[in-house]
Amino acid sequence: MAWSSPPWDEVLYHALDLETSGLEPRADQILSLAMVPIRGGVIRFGERFASLVRPAAPATLSQAGLRAHQLLPSELAAAPTLAELLPEVDRRLRAGVLVIHHAPLDLAFLRQAYRREGRRWPRPAAADTVVLLRRLELRRQLLEPHPAPLPPALPAARAALGLLAYPNHDALFDALATAELFLVLRARLAAQSLRELV
């Protein structure tokens, strides 16, 4: 018997974005994070959670990475540590479904953070907007003659679907951008249940 799935809009989602010093979860560090809730199919920007993160090993950060994220070492030095932020992240992870653009990377960084802090990983369900883009592209290939491919990068995918541009490499803007993209993809795919999105 198939598991029952709630209607998609009865689920609490948290669009998540992490900005990191690189792409290797075991070696690189989280520099900022943001979570933007979606409740009842509506983005609740006023309930967002966002913070810079004080790196555990600031001397190892690359200057190129800091420039890409437009961060100053002094800003990071004044930020809370990841250990201080994880209780709030954990509360939100356990309260709903994550929405992430390219989920494997951010989930790997979060799992590593939980491991370092001796916390039990809650194994949250996640909707990956890159996966949803692929589903939409497959549907378009069945229905349209020679559709243009949908790009996987967040800014390009948003542009292809008619969404406005936001500044890049900012966790809060990227979380909001991901939340908006998720809602557009849900509508284009006509998904009615959570099972169709995760």
All residues at 6 or more sequence positions from 121 whose CB lies less than 8 Å from its CB, including other chains: 110, 111, 114, 115
* Residue 157: inside a domain: yes
**Residue 86: which CATH number?**
3.30.420.10
105 assigned to some structural domain: yes
In a domain, 2, yes or no: no
21 has pLDDT over 50: yes
Mean pLDDT confidence for 143-149: 83
pTM of this structure: 0.93
Go through the chain and tell me how many residues it has. Answer: 198
Number of domains making up the chain: 1
Cα gap 178→183, rounded to integer Å: 9
Handedness of CA 55, 56, 59, 65 (dihedral sign): negative
Quick check: is 1 in a domain?
A: no
Residue 146 clears pLDDT 70, i.e. is over it: yes
3: in domain: no
Say whether 17 sits in a helix, a strand or coil.
strand
Q: Which domain holds residue 25?
A: 8-190
Judged on CB neighbours under 10 Å (0-12, 13-18, 19+), 149 is: exposed
Q: Tokens 């010093």 sit at which residue?
A: 21
Top-confidence residue, 167 or 62: 167
**Residue 147, in any domain of the structure:** yes
Does the residue 107 lie in any domain? yes
Q: Which pLDDT does position 64 carry in this prediction? A: 66
pLDDT at 65: 66
Q: How confident is the model at residue 70 (pLDDT cuts 50, 70, 90)?
A: confident
pLDDT, one tens digit per residue, over 22-43 is: 889 998 999 999 999 999 999 9
Is 167 contained in some domain? Answer: yes
- Residue 180, SS3? helix
Q: What pLDDT, on the 0 to 100 scale, is given for residue 23?
A: 87
